[in-house]
Chain A
Amino acid sequence: MPIKVLIIIPCFNEEKSIVSLLSELLTINFSNKYWIEIAVVNDGSQDKTVEVVSQFNVIILDLPVNIGIGGAVQTGFKYAFENDFEIAIQVDGDGQHPPLEILKMLKAYEENPSNIIIGSRFIVKQGFQSSTLRRIGIFYLHFLNKIFTQKNIYDSTSGFRLFDKKAIALAARYYPDEYPEPESLVIFAKAGFSISEIPVMMKPRQAGQSSIRYFSQVYYIIKVTIAMFFSYIRKVN
């Protein structure tokens, strides 16, 4: 039996970049070992994201109101959990994550299965590296991760991640809603999950806006620090 893999693509007003992402994704030749399904989670977009996506043969999880990136991704995990998927891969809808890199993630999972595999920009310096200010922030997050997860995670903000069955089950039940990536790693580490990182190429976003904009970066850092600290203390059962 092939391994069921769900590719989760959270989208908020991504009508421009989602087309190229999906058409690229659908042309990839995955090996017969895998049975791939693509789920686009529309997080209450006001543009034509849903109409555009309906032209493709993919699953649409259409959230009637905007609930934020965390809740949107979690909807994908819930779907994966209910339908017994072995693996879920989260890919951003803005085209930052080249679909071909998914093959790399799957290969990394075959060779060295861990509960979570992060596609990281920082292990090998290639492709898009983002601005200085952002890199200082990411350096600080690395330090925070070291404290709260006791692991060396370089790209904790990466939204390009692979989850195995155990990680899907936990994420379906409990997933932070605002800026979820670093915070969720604390929860996964506390659950005793293994987390590994592989280098991937990333492109600058094609259209739309980052969910982390300039003047809210200070807020982002403060919020993530507090959230990681409380996730560290909190009991998740």
Chain B
Amino acid sequence: MQKIQIIIIFINSLLLFYIARLIIKGKLREEYIIAWIVCTVLLMFFSFWRNGLEVLAKAFGIFEAPNLVFISFIFIILIYLLHLSIVNTKLQKDITKLTQEIALMKQNLKKDEANDAA
């Protein structure tokens, strides 16, 4: 095993440990857990089996193995960003609805108070 592999496996373990901690503490929603675990497991897998990259790159017809890494990670990141935009849109909609409800409820409350006083 080479030096770089040991370093990566070490860093990866730290990351995995940190993610596990976040999950245990309830700071990460379940839907994100899968994505993060799959990413770390993939990294772990290829740090043990270094040749795997070359094999895969050849299978896809990519000359330089690192390009496979870049391509696939850029793709994964883009998809993930899209997912975050969707989540963000939903949150914004929910906030708008809640804000409106609060304003209407405050007004109703005021009306009731005025009626009670009268």
- Which residues of A are at the interface with B, using a C-beta cutoff of 8 A? 41, 59-65, 67-68, 71, 74-75, 78-79, 82, 177
Residues of the B chain whose Cβ atoms lie less than 8 Å from the Cβ of A59 = 107
Q: How far is the CB of B101 from chain A (nearest CB, A)?
A: 9
Minimum Cβ distance to chain B for residue A149 (Å)? 25
Chain A residues within an 8 Å CB radius of B96: 67-68, 71, 177
Q: Whole-angstrom distance between the alpha carbons of A78 and B104 in the complex?
A: 8
Is the interface on chain B under 10, 10 to 19, 20 to 34, or 35 or more residues?
Answer: 10 to 19
Interface of B is mostly: helix
Name the contact of B107 in the complex, choosing from A60, A67, A71, A177 (C-beta under 8 A): A60
Docked-complex contact A64 and B103, CB < 8 angstroms: yes
A62: which B residues are within 8 A, CB to CB?
103, 106-107
Whether, in the assembled complex, B13 has its beta carbon less than 8 Å from a beta carbon of chain A, the answer is no
Provide a sorted-by-A list of 20 A–B residue pairs whose CB atoms are within 8 angstroms: A41-B103, A59-B107, A61-B103, A61-B104, A61-B106, A61-B107, A62-B103, A62-B107, A63-B99, A63-B103, A64-B99, A67-B95, A71-B99, A74-B100, A75-B100, A75-B103, A78-B100, A78-B104, A79-B107, A177-B92
Task: State in angstroms the CA–CA spacing of A125 and B92 once bound together.
Answer: 40
Q: Which of B78-118 contact A (CB under 8 A)?
A: 92, 95-96, 99-100, 102-104, 106-107
Contact A67 B102 (CB under 8 A): no
Cross-chain contact B100 with A71 (CB below 8 angstroms):
yes
Interchain CA distance A60-B100 in the complex, whole Å:
12
| Residues from chain B with Cβ under 8 Å of A41 in the complex | 103
Residues from chain A with Cβ under 8 Å of B106 in the complex: 61-62
Chain A residues near B102: list those with CB within 8 A.
Answer: 63-64
- For the complex, give the distance between the alpha carbons of A67 and B92 in Å: 9
In the docked arrangement, what's the CA distance between A67 and B101, Å? 12
Shortest distance between the CB of A49 and any CB in chain B (Å): 13
A39 to chain B, nearest CB (A): 8
Chain B nearest CB, measured from A146 CB (Å): 30
Chain B residues with CB below 8 A from A78, complex form:
100, 104
